[in-house]
Structure 1
Amino acid sequence: MQFHIITFGCQMNAADSTWLSRALTAMGWEEVSEEEAQVFILNTCSVREKPEQKVYSQLGRLRPLVEQHPGGFVAVGGCVAQQVGCEFWKRFPFVRLVFGTDGISNAPQAMARLAQAPDLRISLLDFSESYLERETPEYKTKAPAQAFVNIMQGCDNFCAYCIVPYVRGRQKSRSSQEILAECRTLAEAGTREITLLGQNVNSYGLDKSGDGTSFAELLHQVAAIDGIDRLRFTTSHPKDIAPEVIRAFGELPQLCPYLHLPLQSGSDKILASMGRKYDTARYLDIVDQLRKARPDIALSTDIIVGFPGETEDDFSRTMEMLERVRYEGSYSFKYNDRPGVRSVRMAGKVPEDVKSERLERFQTAQNAITEEIHKSVEGSRAEVILERPTRKPVEGLPGWTGHDLYNRVINVPVGGQIASADLTGTLAHVTIARGRRHFLIANRMEEL
C-alpha cells in the first residue's frame, strides 16, 4: 500500500509521524506524495482554535483522492481523534481508523488489517495506565542528523485553559532504559542531535510509571552516549524545574544553551487563575539561575493574550516580563475556549478586538527584541547543522538552512564545488553576516 502522512501541531506529533512512517515502511508499505497515496494518515492537534474544523476541511479535500483508489481509506490519529472519536465515521465513511495518543503503537497493525478487510473499521481510543513501548524499526540507511525522542506521555497539571490532559491522558513516564536504548540506536545510525520530548519533561519520573530516574539524571545519561553532540528538551514547566536541571546547562557541554520556558502571562493574578502554580517572582528567579549557570543561554516562551479576567494592567505586566527577560522568540496566541476545560466557565471573557490589539502590541515588541538580538551577533562564528535546502536562493546562491546551538535559524549561501552536494546533516562553522527578524544570514560557504 502507498501512504501519505499529514501532521498538525507539536513536535510530539512530528515525532509520532516519523515513527509511523518508519513502522509502515518496515511493513512493506511505501510513503509517497499526496497525489499517489491510497491511504492517508492525519495526525491531529486540538490545542489551538477550531482544530476540528481544520481536520474536517482537510478530510473534505482528501475525499476525491481517496475515492479514486479502490480500498483506499483515511486514518485519523492524535488529539482530535481522541476528542471526536468514532463520530468521524458518521460524517466521513472513508475514515476507517481513529486512534488516540495511546493507540498509536497499534496503528500500523490496524492499518494492515484494514487493507485486507475493506468493510472493517477500527478505533484505538483507550488510555493505558503506563507508557506503551513501540517496536522501533532498524535504520536501513543513515538516520537523520537530528531526532526527537519521546520520554513520556500525557500531563497531570490540568491548567485551566489546556485540553492536553483530556486528549493525551495522565502522565506516564517511559522507562529510562528504553529511552537510552533508542538514543544509542540513533547515535549509532548517525544522529548527532537529540531533543527529548514530553508535555512536561521536568516532571519525568515523578509518576507511578517512573523507574527512579530523575530528569536531571536522564540528561546526564543521554549526554554520555558516544556520538551525541547536541542535546535539547521541551516542554519545560517552570513549577517543576529542579536545581539539578538548571545546573546541567553549565555542566553538560552537549546540552544546548537554549530553553523554551513557557510563561503564559506576566500577571500573578492571571497565573493563579490559569492554575500555573508559580508566580512571576519564582519565574524570574529561575531565569536568573539559568543565566548564572549558562550566561549565554537563549530563552523562548509561550504567551496567552486575553485570558478570562485579563485587564489592561494584567497585560502591561506581561509586556514588562517581555522586556525584563528579553526572550529571543515566543509563541503568542489569543485565548480561545477548548471543550471541557475549566476556563470555558470563567467570567470576564475579553472581547475579540481587545485580544487582537494586545496580541499585535506584544508581537511587535517581541519582533523588535528578536531583531536586536540577531543584529548583535553579526560578525560572530556559529555552528549550524544543515537541515534542508532553502526555498529561495540566499544572496543569489543555492542556500541551506539549519539551527545553531541557540536554536536560531541560519540560512547559508553555498557556492563552489559543494553547491550541488547533498549537505543534509552536515555540521558547518559559519560567520554571521546579517541578522534579520526571523533568521540569520551567514557568509558564503564554499568548503566544509
Structure 2
Amino acid sequence: MNYYIFTFGCQMNVSDSLWLDQALQALGLKPCSREEEADIFLINTCSVREKPEQKIYSLLGRLYEYTREKPHVFAGVGGCVAQQVGRRFLERFSFVRLVFGTDGLVMVPEAIKRLLKDRHLKTSLLDFQDHYPERKGYQPEKAPVQAFVNIMQGCDNFCAYCIVPYTRGRQKSRSSREILQECAGLVARGCREITLLGQNVNSFGQDKEGRDIPFSELLRSVAALPGLERLRFTTSHPKDIDEEVIQAFGELPALCPHLHLPLQSGSDQVLSSMGRKYNSDDYLRIVEKLRSSCPDISLTTDLIVGFPGETDADFEDTMDIVKKVGFDSSFSFKYSDRPGVRAADMQPKIDDETKTERLARLQQLQSELTRDRLAGRVGRQELVLVEGRSKKQGPPDTVSWTGRDPGGRLVHVHLPVERDCTGEVLRVTIVRAHKHSLSGEVI
C-alpha cells in the first residue's frame, strides 16, 4: 500500500509529518512521490492561514476523484483544522476514515493498521492528553543533516488572536531525558544541526512544577553533545526569554546567532489588546541585551497588521520599532478572525483596504532592511552548512549548492560538477547580496 502526506503550516507540522512518514514505513507501507499513486492520503493541517477549513475541503474534493477508480482509497485529516472540525470531516466525506488531533498523532500508525483490516471502520483521535504524548522513535539508519526535535506541545498564553491553545491544547513539556536521548541519537547517526521546537520554548518545563530543568539548562545540555555543530530553537515568546538564554548566545559555540522573536505589533495599546504581556520598551530592552551578548545576532520576527482597534498611530509605532530593531527578515500578515478566539469579538474591525495598504508599506520597509542587512555581509567569511543543490544553477561545469550561514541566511555556492558536498560545512567568502539570499566563493 502506498501513502502520500500533505503538510501545511509550521515547522512543528513538518516535524510531525516526518515522524509519521517514518512510522508508516515501519509498518511496511510505501511513500509515493505522485498523489495519483497513493492508496492512503494523510493531510496535516494548519489553522494559521486565512480560510484553512475551506482549503482542506477543496483538497479533499479533488482527492475524492481518485476513489472513482480505486474505491479502497481513503484519507486521514490531522493537525489543527482537524482538531477544530473534528468528526464533521468523517460525515462530509465518505472516503475520510480518520481524523486526528495533535495529541492523537502518536496513535495514528496503530489506527492505520485497524483501518486497513476493516474497510468499514472510521475513527477519530481528538482527545487532549494531560502529558506530552511521547512517540516511539522510528529512526532511519542515517539521520538527516538537519533535524527538528519537538520539546513541548501546546501553549498556555491564550493570546487574543491565536488558535493554538484550542487546537494543540495546554502546554506539555517533554522529559529532558527523552529530548537528550533523541538528540544524541541523531548526532550519532550523522545529524549536524538540530532545531528545538515548541510553541513557546522559553517556558519549557514550567508546566512540570519544578520536576525538570529550565530551557537555558536544556540548551546547554544539547549544545554540549559531542559532534553537534549547530543548535537552533523556535519559537520564543518575549515575555519568557530569561537572562540565562540571552547569555547562552554569547557563550555556547554551537548555538547559532539567530533568534526568531515574534513582536506582533509595535503599539503598546495593541500589544495589551493582544494579551502579549510585554510592551515595546520591554522588547527593545531584550534586543539590546541580545546584541550585547552576541553582537552579530540575526533577529527575525512575526508581525500582524490590522488587529481590531489598530489606529494609524498604532501602525506607525510598528513601523518605528521595525526600523529601530532592523530585523534581518520578518513574516507579516493581515489580521483575520479565527473562530473561538477573543479577538473575533473585538471591535472595531479594520477594513481590508486599510490592512492591505499597511501590509504593503510594512513589507516594503522590511525589503529595504533585508537588502541593507544582506549587503552588509559582503566581504565577510562565513561557515555554510550545505543543504543540497540550488534550484537555480550557475555556469557550465559547475553545480550550484545552497546552504545557510550561522545566522540562518541562505547562501549559494558554485562548485565543480563531480563534487557532492551535501552536509559539508564550507568556509566561503560572501561576494554578492541578492534580494533574499547571498552568493559565496569557497576559500
Specify the TM-score bucket, using the shorter chain as the normaliser: over 0.9
2:57 corresponding residue in structure 1? 56
2:440 corresponding residue in structure 1? 442
Query: Which residue type is aligned with residue 438 of structure 1?
Result: H
* Residues 268 and 279 in structure 1, CA contact (< 8 A), matched pair in contact too: yes
Instruction: Give me the whole-angstrom Cα distance separating, in 2, the residues matched to 1:349 and 1:245.
Output: 37
**Closer/same/farther in 2, CA of residues 250 and 438 from structure 1, 3 Å limit:** same
Where does 1:199-210 land on structure 2 (aligned, <5 Å)?
Answer: 199-208=199-208
TM-score of the aligned structures, taking structure 1 as reference length: 0.96
1:198 corresponding residue in structure 2? 198
Say which SS state the counterpart of residue 288 (structure 1) adopts: helix
* Residues 399 and 417 in structure 2, CA contact (< 8 A), matched pair in contact too: no
Q: CA deviation at 1:415?
A: 2.2
Q: CA deviation at 1:113?
A: 1.1
Q: CA deviation at 1:208?
A: 3.2
* Residues 298 and 407 in structure 2, CA contact (< 8 A), matched pair in contact too: yes
Stretch of structure 1 that moved more, 201-210 or 366-375: 201-210
CA-to-aligned-CA distance 1:41-93 (integer Å, 9 cap, x gap):
10000012111111111111211234433422111110000010010112211
CA-to-aligned-CA distance 1:175-199 (integer Å, 9 cap, x gap):
0000001001101111010000000
* Residues 12 and 197 in structure 1, CA contact (< 8 A), matched pair in contact too: yes
Q: Which sections of structure 1, spanning at least 5 residues, go unmatched? A: none
2:133 corresponding residue in structure 1? 132
Where does 1:59-98 land on structure 2 (aligned, <5 Å)?
Answer: 59-98=60-99
Instruction: Give me the whole-angstrom Cα distance separating, in 2, the residues matched to 1:316 and 1:102.
Output: 40
Query: Which residue type is aligned with residue 86 of structure 1?
Result: R
2:188 corresponding residue in structure 1? 188
Where does 1:149-188 land on structure 2 (aligned, <5 Å)?
Answer: 149-188=149-188
1:404 corresponding residue in structure 2? 405
Say which SS state the counterpart of residue 220 (structure 1) adopts: helix
* Residues 430 and 439 in structure 2, CA contact (< 8 A), matched pair in contact too: yes
Q: In the alignment, does 2:225 pair up with 1:232? A: no
2:367 corresponding residue in structure 1? 367
Aligned length: 441
Say which SS state the counterpart of residue 194 (structure 1) adopts: strand
* Residues 175 and 212 in structure 2, CA contact (< 8 A), matched pair in contact too: no
Instruction: Give me the whole-angstrom Cα distance separating, in 1, the residues matched to 2:76 and 2:313.
Output: 46
How many percent of aligned residue pairs carry the same amino acid? 56
Query: Which residue type is aligned with residue 441 of structure 1?
Result: S
Stretch of structure 1 that moved more, 13-22 or 381-390: 381-390
CA-to-aligned-CA distance 1:313-339 (integer Å, 9 cap, x gap):
000010000110000000000000001
* Residues 2 and 29 in structure 1, CA contact (< 8 A), matched pair in contact too: yes
TM-score of the aligned structures, taking structure 2 as reference length: 0.97
Query: Which residue type is aligned with residue 400 of structure 1?
Result: W
Say which SS state the counterpart of residue 207 (structure 1) adopts: helix
Instruction: Give me the whole-angstrom Cα distance separating, in 1, the residues matched to 2:136 and 2:369.
Output: 44
* Residues 131 and 209 in structure 1, CA contact (< 8 A), matched pair in contact too: no
Instruction: Give me the whole-angstrom Cα distance separating, in 2, the residues matched to 1:58 and 1:4.
Output: 13
* Residues 394 and 411 in structure 1, CA contact (< 8 A), matched pair in contact too: no
1:428 corresponding residue in structure 2? 426
Stretch of structure 1 that moved more, 381-390 or 14-23: 381-390
Instruction: Give me the whole-angstrom Cα distance separating, in 2, the residues matched to 1:344 and 1:247.
Output: 38
Cα-Cα RMSD: 1.3
* Residues 176 and 213 in structure 2, CA contact (< 8 A), matched pair in contact too: yes
Q: CA deviation at 1:388?
A: 2.3
CA-to-aligned-CA distance 1:218-273 (integer Å, 9 cap, x gap):
00010111111100000000000111110110110100000000000000000000
Q: Which sections of structure 2, spanning at least 5 residues, go unmatched? A: none
Query: Which residue type is aligned with residue 302 of structure 2?
Result: D
Where does 1:219-298 land on structure 2 (aligned, <5 Å)?
Answer: 219-298=219-298
* Residues 105 and 134 in structure 1, CA contact (< 8 A), matched pair in contact too: yes
